[in-house]
Amino acid sequence: MDEQQKPGQPAPPAKPARRVFSGIQPTGAPHLGNYLGALRWWVDFQDRYDAFYCVVDLHALTVPGDPEELSKSTLTMATLLLACGLDPARCTLFVQSHVHYHADLTWLLECTASMGELSRMTQFKDKAQKGGEESARVGLFAYPVLMAADILLYDTDLVPVGDDQRQHLELTRDLAQRWNSRYGPTFVVPEAAIPPVGGGARVMDLQEPRRKMSKSADSDAGVVYLFDDPKVIERKVKRAVTDLDPPGPGSVRWDPEEKPGVSNLLELLATIRGGKPEDIARAYDGYARLKSDAADAVVSLVRPLQERYRELSQDPGAVQAVLAAGARKAEEVAAATYDRARTAMGLLTA
């Protein structure tokens, strides 16, 4: 059918905005890779989608940690998200454990997921191997099912996730499809939202530019934390590994294979300032100015976030109030989905 509008006809009702859901763990210090690869997009998505964002404290329980630290870091992460530009008037921001349906739906989904499919999750295999298979927590094994519950509770259309979470999103889709065909249509089957090319999804470690910037790096020297002092940031960027060929004309070029260090700095500049790394390269004939410009760009990006964070952290009660209101909004949606799910599965209504 041709749905073209004819002059004089009233505009068709606006389509409801598609729903986005994403989560971030409160553990570990957030770094530039998290910001450029994810958080920046969360901020952007607020105006394009009906966005739900969650600090996933239950996921943090899957590995050993200090209870006092957990509640502190949950509040810190929420404060940081607000400092980055999440706006409670334009998105729903909440803490996972404040909405009990996440744990409730996890159980129902666990009773549809198989040991085999969870055993194939590479993140579980990696993490369990590191800490010893025998002592790996059952929660670590079930981690992706909790993540599926997070997503499915909100009738999510799109999930912004990095490469490392792709497999978990695939599992979520499998679980939703299996459920819908076994128990009748209950869940929206979500898709990955992929930031556009050059979207800063791959910020590399400044010391090991062939690996992604990550909090699990052996050393902090190549990782710029959002809470690093500007002086520390400057030092880290200026000490970034460049490449072995001598500096000089032509040494600054966009070539991630041959020149990963230089290319990473160009990519950083391009992501922060806009533009293409290839074009930015042309303005440089040596490494020193490239590094100092990249350092300036990172500092000018991070400084306002830090200032805003300092302001917001003066009033933790206000942040808690944002989270409480977010949880109430989230709970309304989650309750309806959970109810559909429990009924579909045959659980008796109380």
Which of 45, 327, 325 minimizes the C-alpha distance to 159? Answer: 45
Q: Catalytic residue among 6, 72, 212, 291, which?
A: 212
Q: Indicate the residue among 214 and 306 with the shorter CB distance to ligand TRP.
A: 214
Q: Tell me how many residues contact ligand TRP (CB under 6 A).
A: 13
Q: Residue 263 CB, nearest distance to ligand TRP (Å)?
A: 25
In the chain, what is the straight-line distance between the N-terminal and C-terminal CA atoms, in Å? 46
Site for ligand TRP in 9-38 (CB under 6 A): 21-25
Specify whether the CB–CB gap between 209 and 263 falls below 8 A: yes
Query: Does residue 215 have an active-site annotation?
Result: yes
Q: Identify the residue whose tokens are 């978990």.
A: 168
Specify whether the CB–CB gap between 268 and 298 falls below 8 A: yes
Give the nearest residue (CB) to ligand TRP: 23
Q: Residue 163 CB, nearest distance to ligand TRP (Å)?
A: 11
Q: Which residue among 31, 92, 106, 150 contacts ligand TRP (CB under 6 A)?
A: 150
Span near ligand TRP by CB under 6 A; candidates 146-154, 173-181, 192-200, 261-269? 146-154
Q: Indicate the residue among 63 and 325 with the shorter CB distance to ligand TRP.
A: 63
Q: Indicate the residue among 22 and 74 with the shorter CB distance to ligand TRP.
A: 22
Q: Which residue among 36, 56, 301, 305 contacts ligand TRP (CB under 6 A)?
A: 56
Specify whether the CB–CB gap between 52 and 5 falls below 8 A: no
Task: Give the whole-angstrom CA distance, residue 198 versus residue 111.
Answer: 40
Helix ranges (H only) for the chain are 32-34, 40-45, 57-60, 67-84, 101-110, 115-119, 122-131, 138-153, 166-183, 230-238, 260-273, 277-281, 287-313, 316-345
Specify whether the CB–CB gap between 266 and 252 falls below 8 A: yes
Radius of gyration, alpha carbons of the chain: 22
Span near ligand TRP by CB under 6 A; candidates 4-12, 108-116, 144-152, 201-209? 144-152
Task: Give the whole-angstrom CA distance, residue 164 versus residue 142.
Answer: 17
Specify whether the CB–CB gap between 206 and 221 falls below 8 A: yes
Answer yes or no whether residue 259 interacts with ligand TRP by CB under 6 A: no
Site for ligand TRP in 151-190 (CB under 6 A): 151, 159, 161, 165
Q: Indicate the residue among 55 and 268 with the shorter CB distance to ligand TRP.
A: 55
Q: Identify the residue whose tokens are 């920046």.
A: 40
Q: Catalytic residue among 127, 236, 259, 291, which?
A: 127
Q: Residue 21 CB, nearest distance to ligand TRP (Å)?
A: 6
Residues that bind ligand TRP (CB under 6 A): 21-25, 56, 59, 147, 150-151, 159, 161, 165
Please list the active-site residues. 127, 212, 215
